[in-house]
Structure 1
Amino acid sequence: MAYDPPLSGVRILDLSTGPMTAVGRLLADLGAEVTPVDLRGVTGQATIGPHVDAVPLGTAIDRHGMRSVAVDPTTAGGRRRWTKMLADADILIESTRPGSAAEAALDVHRIHADHPACVILSLSDFGRDTDFSGWQATTPVLHALTSELSRSGIPGREPLVPPGDRLPYQVAAAQAAVMVLSVYLDRLRTGAGDLIDFSILDGAMAALDPPFGTAGTASVGVPISAQRRDWNAERQRYPIVACKDGHVRICLLAKRQWRGMFEWMGSPIEFADPRFDSLRERFASPTLLAAIERFCADKTRAELEVAGQRHGVPTAAVLTLDEALATEQVRERGFLRDAELAPGVAAPVPVGVTEIDGVRASALNAPVDRPARTVSAPVLSGRPRRDEGLPLEGLRVLDLGVIVVGSDTGRLFGDLGADVVKIENSAYPDGLRGNLKYMTQGFAAGHRNKRSIGIDLRSRRGRALAHRLVAQSDVVLTNFKPGVAETLGMDHATLRTVNPGIVVVDSSAFGPTGPWAKRLGYGPLVRAAAGFTAAWVYPGEPDTFCDTVTVYPDHVCARIGTLAALAVLLRRERTGTGGSVSVAQSEVMLSHLGADIAADVLQRRGHQRCDRPQHDAPWGLFPAAGADAWVAVTVRDDADWAALCATIERPDLHTDPELADSAGRDRHRARIDGAVRAWTTTRCPKEAMERLQAAGVPAGAVLHAADVPEWGYYVQRRAFREELHPHGAEPFTMENAQIHAERVADPPLGQAPLLGEQTRQIAAELLGLSDPQIDELLAAGVLEIIQP
């Protein structure tokens, strides 16, 4: 069967410039017809590097394969053309700066009134509905204000900005794409579009490393919101140990993994005490890590990977980016392909970040002939609707996902109105749960707005019940260990025989094919194998690995999986059939480095990089008054430089001819940093931030997680809410508003369930079972309810 790109026929006008052109790239790779528009008086000229042979590679990759048009709405012909383009569009994306002449000229509110069926995605750094709408962001500023930097780096030193010059924008782009596509899917059945006020800061906070989101098992039950930079803890969580030819990262979280490590080391008597079966005891040991380091010192990375897998100890070599790209896994999966980005400039670019029906979802793979445009939603239009202002009302999702990426994918569907049913069993509980009889903050955050049914999928009767649920559902979510879905009969090949319209999403570490397909995938090990861990270090200090506390890329991978599932649901409206979605977490990460990969290859091929320095000065983190207090200060151009000099009352710097341009400021970066440091150290981070932002200089206080919900910006954006869970020890702070739009409500207030809490309800409602039948299945262990 020929590949059918799921968003074929969807027409998108893209007026965005700068780093958020990544939204259009994601939608184009799923098949949408994205047309970049140069609208006179509205669109800017911001491009994204690195620059090679004067080609802005980030922009060139995002716009590759798209046909741009220029429109002058100041002429009568231009106005007619623009009006017709808007009438034909399904989605409009724009990124004018709030309060600017461009924003006024575009007037999205008038467009929304004149074209009510169009879905408008209005992008800005801080949203358009708060007192902060005029503030400006850069990558360090976004990392600071999401609280990511409070967990990155060595205590006592400046926080460490993660690799990837566009990283917060790219994860925010995934969030934005999910939101716009969910609203568009709803528009197909209601006929009504909407105007989405999307804040890049909101998207970065939610999709990179959310302070009140789910946390992995390496957190040892400590929520992200309570974590700070802790070098010793970093070395204990997924420890990185030196070996003969570099470093490896190992996972010793589970009891079985520790037992495998103990046997692998030759069963040393020093660690034979059963107390070492406890994760907390292993963390507390003053000698265990040193013993592991001695054991690994004379072995190569390859030897340790093979032996670790043999003993059931997940082990990954810490690879550089070049090493990661050279692996057989990346080559066999065809993640990169050369594309002409400009005349005479061909470079490898990512071939999409998902697979749809086994084919890499990319504009590079799109067939020449496209199907007709989808203009209605015959499947969803027949579903009952509660009219609660949630775009995914009427959908049913079966959630078999676990830990972070699994929980967050289903939670997104639930927050947007779908009926999400989590299938689980106490024999193999979700590692995010911890104790089955009470609720943790992480589980509550990832599994709100879901119901839970306990089913033993290992039994024939349990699988039959699950298949009956599949027959009544739209989406199945999985991120099992390799081979488990097939064993349980919950893979797409099996489920499409049960329900031809089902959409099955599978998320794995390295993808379903290639020599690493069967590798266990824990986020930190995937980062190590994809080159991220080796890059997440202080400059010139290659052993200062600082990526352990972060949960990246789990949350953004959840967005990518949700986005692809929505796209296939949209395709189902014109074909009647579902499909499969596969997400490789390693490839999502590598896609975030796509422009850097292209630049490195082009330079090796003899092309000239021409954007040095990469950043103006100052650009980085500066100490402020207070303990572990920091502020990000960034200058982008001469205007920012003038505003900075005025704010810190250093006119001598502004008039110094040596500092008149970015090249000069780069040569004197240490001197400039010293002047900024002298100013920031006498002020608290928020005062420094507010004064600089008032002058137009992008700046951000490094917020700790506990600071985030109370900061005025997040309060005004309704970003968080407090929940008192009946099985929780204390109130939980939870994320709140997902979409800021006139027709979309905040997420429902459904609380995360205990295991099997709604087993009886679901068995009766969806499976049609009587009380005696349910009692018999409970007694047989086919169904399950955990009593608190």
Structure 2
Amino acid sequence: MDENLPLTGVRVLDRTDGLGETTSRLLADLGADVIRVEPAAGAASRQREPLVDGVSLYYATHNANKRAVVVDGDDFLRLIDTADILVTNAAADLGALRERRPGLVVVAVTDYGLTGPYRDWQATEWTHLALGGVLSRSGLPGREPLLPPGSMAYESAAAQAAWAALLAHYAGTGDLVDVSVYEATARVLDPGFGIGGSATGGVPAANGPRGRPDARHLYPIFRCADGWVRICVLAPRQWQGMFTWLGEPAEFADPALANLGKRFAAAGKIYPAIGRLFATRTREQIVAEGQRHGVPTAALLSPTEVLHAEQFTARSAFTAVDGVPGALMPNGVVEIDGRRAGVRTPAPAPGRDTAEVLASLPPAVPPAAPRAGRSLPLTGLRVLDLGVIVVGAELGRLFADMGAEVIKVENKAFPDGSRQTFDGSAISPSFAYGHRNKLGLGLNLRAPEGIEIFKRLVAESDVVVSNFKPGTMESLGLGHDELAAINPGIVVADSSAFGPSGPWSRRMGYGPLVRATTGLSGLWRYLDDEAGHSDASTIYPDHVAARIEAVAILAKLIARRRTGRGGTVSVAQAEVILGQLPHQLALESIRPGSLVPIGNAQPGDAPRGVYPCAGDDEWCVVTVRDDEDWRRLDGVLQTGLDLPTARDRIARRDQIDALVSAWTSARSPRRAMAELQAAGVPAAMMQRVPELLDDPHLADRGFFRTMHHPRIAEPMPAESAPAVFQHVAEPPLEPAPLPGEHSRAILRRVLGLPGEEIDALIAAGIVEHGLVEA
């Protein structure tokens, strides 16, 4: 046990099997005593592919830092009586456990949730991507949609479950937390009703085109002498750097090209010129020159290059897999107080710790009194939010939604890029989604007086969050040491593209560049098109990185109750992506070339893929996992084929795909999904983002509420609470602030400044205030 980790003293029982194992792994990394409770034969996930020398790389990567027991009956109840959190996939007996221990937080992680019309449906990674609105935006116009690589839906849902679990634990009175992977996919992986990247000009995905948008111009990828590179030219200063890099050609000298929309309109001329510039240069040369010119640039790396990249080696981002010589796996995704919260102990053997755990059980925790009503668990916390663009916005919003007073600190000289709009609006729907429930403070942190005001606010706050380039806060005199001297209980959290240390730490980073550098962009393409990269429209991993950072911050606040001290939290977006490809990268480390693009030709059993349905650009995902799934599917299709094993089916994959396509083509996607699910076959229509609003399951579970903003004409559908809780209230829906909208009120209420002093600060340009006063 590491006493320095924030969740030391928190006991978590893990009764998951596959689904949800990452949730308890995140809590274990942060110091919780996670005890896996398995049947005598061991969890089925111990045999999950890929297997190397009898070791499941999936199990090894998802269960490090845990203990394992085989118990039942009275011994299991003894564990329940001493636990703080139970994570389970089961729906049965939860009521009895909650009745026995009202103070226990029970987190049920299931595919569709414990209630609703889909609750008994079958699911896979790919059906969630289809139904959750992700598939409809992945791929290129005129082609079939493209299934994203990896296990992003399940891994992202696990982060959401960890956040929901700690919220309920922080509240301190027990809860039943109902987490649906389907809903998490729709709200975490790449939310259609959420903040988007600055290149979208404030237009959320829900307002995008019906078909798959050709988004390649947003973050273009160019061929070069030894592979591919990507650039992100968004801000006017970045365009000026690109213009200089091109040699300042007269055809691009028009000052209007500083505008993002004007540049995108001229991409047909600008991008060929950039392509000619890059054609004879190597990836290394282009990245170095991009840094010199202030143009965010990244090489598309292969998975093997990622495993041995200097940045990840310097930061010990990978560690050995126990029992598999030479294998590497991601080594945790969070740094706490400057130290990686990584792998301390390998995944346990079945029942390894049974005797030790039972012999050392502490006295039963007295049951908490049952609580009626609902509340917001973070009420009373104050967060100073310096976050920008997507991950910064989302992190602060998560705390604001749950009751914290979140003060967005910004100024006109360095505006948040997410305020950028194509039409010059004061606020966009995208910004309104990302910054709801926050207050706005305009403060010049380049002036000593502004720094002094910020420090006075720190003395009255609990958390400071930022996602600037590493070193920026220190250069302003706002590093953790300075802030902790003012307030020893302050938690200072940062996120960046590649982390606060290592040779790439100062690189300009955006999500698209991080995806390129971690190998994800290269994996996310069509098999028959080397240039068919299709990740330009996604915002991944910003929203999931925000949740992982939120989990770590809340863990530090839980520890503060015990120690009285704050500390630091740091998250690198690149390492979040690596952490969501754990077993795939582990296999790649010992079998180079195993992790490659697979397009829609999903490996394993057959059929598995995306199949056309009746209508214009309509599709349905069908995935057969095993022999029983095939028998159920064959009962619907009546193929007449004798294919009892996966090997038989794989050998006839093309024939089966043709039969499935013929069947789905005669039906609407919703009808095809319903008929297959009625037979117990994992299937899902490709649901477009606006169609989520009419989904009966989401409606039944209260997924959406209606948000209003005084500067936006139309009502805005918005997500509700991060899970279905018994005692955590739904978030408020206060409008996102205009720049400096609440400056006067904050300085009066929090710091007690008199009106004349505030007026003087505004006149001096230290404080900015908006058109709307609080």
TM-superposition CA deviations, 1:403-429 (whole Å, max 9, x none): 100000011111111111111111111
Shift of 1:621: 0.6
Matched to 1:514, the amino acid is: G
RMSD: 2.5
Equivalent of residue 202 in structure 1, options 183, 186, 189? 183
CA displacement 1:588-639 (0-9 Å, x = unmatched):
1011111011112233699xxxxx9942111111111111111111111111
In structure 2, the partner of 1:167 is 152
Q: Give the alignment of 1:371-450 within 5 angstroms.
A: 389-434=375-420, 438-450=426-438
Q: Tell whether the 8 Å contact from 1:374 to 1:574 is kept in structure 2 after alignment.
A: no
Q: Equivalent residue of 1:506, what SS? A: strand
The residue number in structure 2 matching 1:126 is 112
Displacement, 1:55? 2.4
**1:481-630 maps to which residues of 2 (within 5 A)?**
481-603=469-591, 614-630=603-619
- Partner residue in 2 for 1:351: 331
317-326 or 115-124, which moves further after superposition?
Answer: 317-326
Letter in 1 for 2:686: V
The match for 2:349 is none
The offset of 1:56, in angstroms, is 2.0
What is the distance in 2 between the residues matched to 1:624 and 1:375? 56
In structure 2, relative to structure 1, the CA distance for the partners of 1:730 and 1:374 (3 Å cut) is: farther
| CA distance in structure 1 between the partners assigned to 2:237 and 2:337 by the alignment | 35
| Separation in structure 2 between the aligned mates of residue 337 and residue 557 of structure 1, nearest angstrom | 21
**Correspondence for 2:78:** 84
1:282 corresponds to 2:263: yes
Does the 8 Å CA contact 1:353/1:584 hold for their aligned counterparts?
Answer: yes
Q: Distance in 2 between matches of 1:691 and 1:40?
A: 37
Judged with a 3 Å threshold, the aligned counterparts in structure 2 of structure 1 residues 42 and 604 are, in CA distance, closer, same or farther, namely closer
- Residue 293 of structure 1 corresponds to 275
1: distance between equivalents of 2:581 and 2:681? 27
For 2:310, the equivalent position in structure 1 comes to: 328
The residue correspondences of 1:127-142 to structure 2 (distance < 5 A) are: 127-142=113-128
Q: Given that residues 64 and 344 in structure 2 are in contact (C-alpha distance below 8 angstroms), is that contact kept between their aligned partners in structure 1?
A: no
Shift of 1:487: 2.3
Q: 1:771 aligns with which of 745, 752, 755?
A: 755
Work out which of the residue numbers 451, 463, 472 in structure 2 matches 1:475. 463
Distance (whole Å) between structure 2 residues aligned to residue 388 and residue 599 of structure 1? 46
2:621 alignment counterpart: 632
Contact 1:717 1:737 in 2 (8 A): no
Deviation string 1:657-699 (CA, Å, 9 cap, x unpaired) is xx21111111111111100000111111111111111111111
| Contact residue 250 and residue 525 of structure 1 kept, 8 A | yes
Does the 8 Å CA contact 1:739/1:746 hold for their aligned counterparts?
no
CA contact (8 A) 1:408 1:446 kept: yes
Question: Quick one: distance in 2 between partners of 1:61 and 1:235?
Answer: 34
Work out whether residues 722 and 732 of structure 1, in 8 Å CA contact, stay in contact via their aligned partners in 2.
yes
- 1:153 is matched with which residue: 128, 134, 139? 139
Provide, for residues 161-195 of structure 1, a one-character-per-residue CA deviation record: whole Å limited to 9, x for no partner: 1111x2111011001001101111121xxxx2111
Quick one: distance in 2 between partners of 1:261 and 1:605? 35
Write the distance in 1 (CA, Å) between the matches of 2:33 and 2:623: 36
Q: What is aligned with 1:22?
A: 22
CA distance in 2: counterparts of 1:568 and 1:719, whole angstroms: 29
Relative to 1, partners in 2 of residues 1:467 and 1:520: Cα closer, same or farther, differing over 3 Å? same
In the TM superposition, residue 521 of structure 1 has moved relative to its aligned partner by 0.9
| Corresponding residue SS for 1:489 | coil
Specify the SS of the correspondent of 1:287. helix
**C-alpha distance 47-229 of structure 1, shift in aligned 2 (>3 A):** farther
CA contact (8 A) 1:52 1:602 kept: no
d(CA) in 1 for partners of 2:474 and 2:338?
A: 16
Matches within 5 A, 1:54-133: 54-72=54-72, 79-96=73-90, 98=91, 103=92, 107-133=93-119
Deviation of residue 42 (structure 1)?
Answer: 12
Counterpart CA distance in 1 for 2:399 and 2:590 is 41
* Corresponding residue for residue 360 of structure 1: 340
Alignment partners' CA distance in 1, 2:472 and 2:240: 22
Residue identity matched to 1:204: T
**C-alpha deviation, 1:234, in angstroms:** 2.4
Q: What amino acid is aligned across from residue 750 of structure 2 in structure 1?
A: L
- Distance in 1 (CA, whole Å) between partners of 2:512 and 2:101 is 46
Partners of 1:215 and 1:450 lie apart in 2 by: 18
Aligned residue in 1 for 2:201:
220
Question: Is the 2:82–2:364 contact (alpha carbons within 8 Å) kept by the matching residues of 1?
Answer: no
Say which SS state the counterpart of residue 597 (structure 1) adopts.
Answer: helix
Which residues of 2 match residues 262-277 of structure 1 at below 5 A? 262-277=243-258
2:646 to 662, 686, 690: 662
Q: Which blocks of at least 5 consecutive residues in structure 1 are unaligned? A: 73-78, 367-371, 377-385, 607-611
TM-score normalised by structure 1 residue count: 0.91
Report the counterpart of residue 781 of structure 1 in structure 2: 765
Figure out how many residues of one structure are paired with residues of the other and give that number: 745
**Which residue is 2:300 aligned to?**
318
Report the Cα offset of residue 375 of structure 1.
12
Offset at 1:491? 2.3
Pair 1:144 & 2:130 matched? yes
Cα deviation, 1:375-431, whole Å, max 9, x if unaligned, reads 99xxxxxxxxx9861111121111110010000001111111111111111111111
Aligned to 1:76: none
Does residue 1:753 correspond to 2:737, yes or no? yes
Equivalent pair of 1:353/1:591 in contact (CA under 8 Å): yes
CA deviations on 1:92-129 (whole Å, 9 max, x unpaired) are 11102x5xxxx2xxx01010011111110011100012
Q: Residue 239 of structure 1 aligns to which amino acid in structure 2?
A: P
Letter in 2 for 1:281: K
Secondary structure at the aligned position of 2:171 is classed as helix
765-774 vs 534-543, which deviates more?
534-543
The amino acid of 1:178's aligned partner reads W
* Worse-matched range after superposition: 60-69 or 597-606: 597-606
Give the Cα separation in 1 of the matches to 2:68 and 2:3: 26
Letter in 1 for 2:169: Y
SS at the partner of 2:251?
helix
Cα deviation code 1:62-105 (max 9, x no counterpart): 12343211123xxxxxx221111110111111102x5xxxx2xx
Q: Match for 2:696 among 702, 705, 712?
A: 712
Distance 1:490 1:374 in 2: 44
Contact 1:10 1:373 in 2 (8 A): no
Q: Which moved more, 1:483-492 or 1:416-425?
A: 483-492
> In structure 2, what is the Cα distance between the partners aligned to 1:373 and 1:233?
58
Q: 1:365 to 1:396 in 2, by over 3 A?
A: farther
Q: What displacement does 1:649 show?
A: 3.3
AA partner of residue 203 (structure 2): V
Q: What displacement does 1:40 show?
A: 7.2
Check the 8 A contact 2:394/2:546 in 1, yes or no.
yes
Q: 1:337 to 1:363 in 2, by over 3 A?
A: closer
Q: Comparing 548-557 with 125-134, which one deviates more in the overlay?
A: 125-134
Greater shift in the superposed pair: 398-407 or 753-762: 753-762
Instruction: Give, in whole Å, the separation in 1 of the partners of 2:747 and 2:65.
Output: 49
Whole-angstrom distance in 2 between the partners of 1:232 and 1:167: 21
Residue identity in the other structure for 1:733 = P
Which 5+ residue runs of structure 2 have no aligned equivalent?
A: 347-360, 366-371, 595-600
1: CA distance between counterparts of 2:82 and 2:717?
A: 43
Q: Specify the SS of the correspondent of 2:223.
A: strand
**Do the aligned partners of residues 270 and 453 (structure 1) sit closer, same or farther apart at CA in structure 2, a change above 3 Å counting?**
same
User: Which residue matches 1:369?
Assistant: none
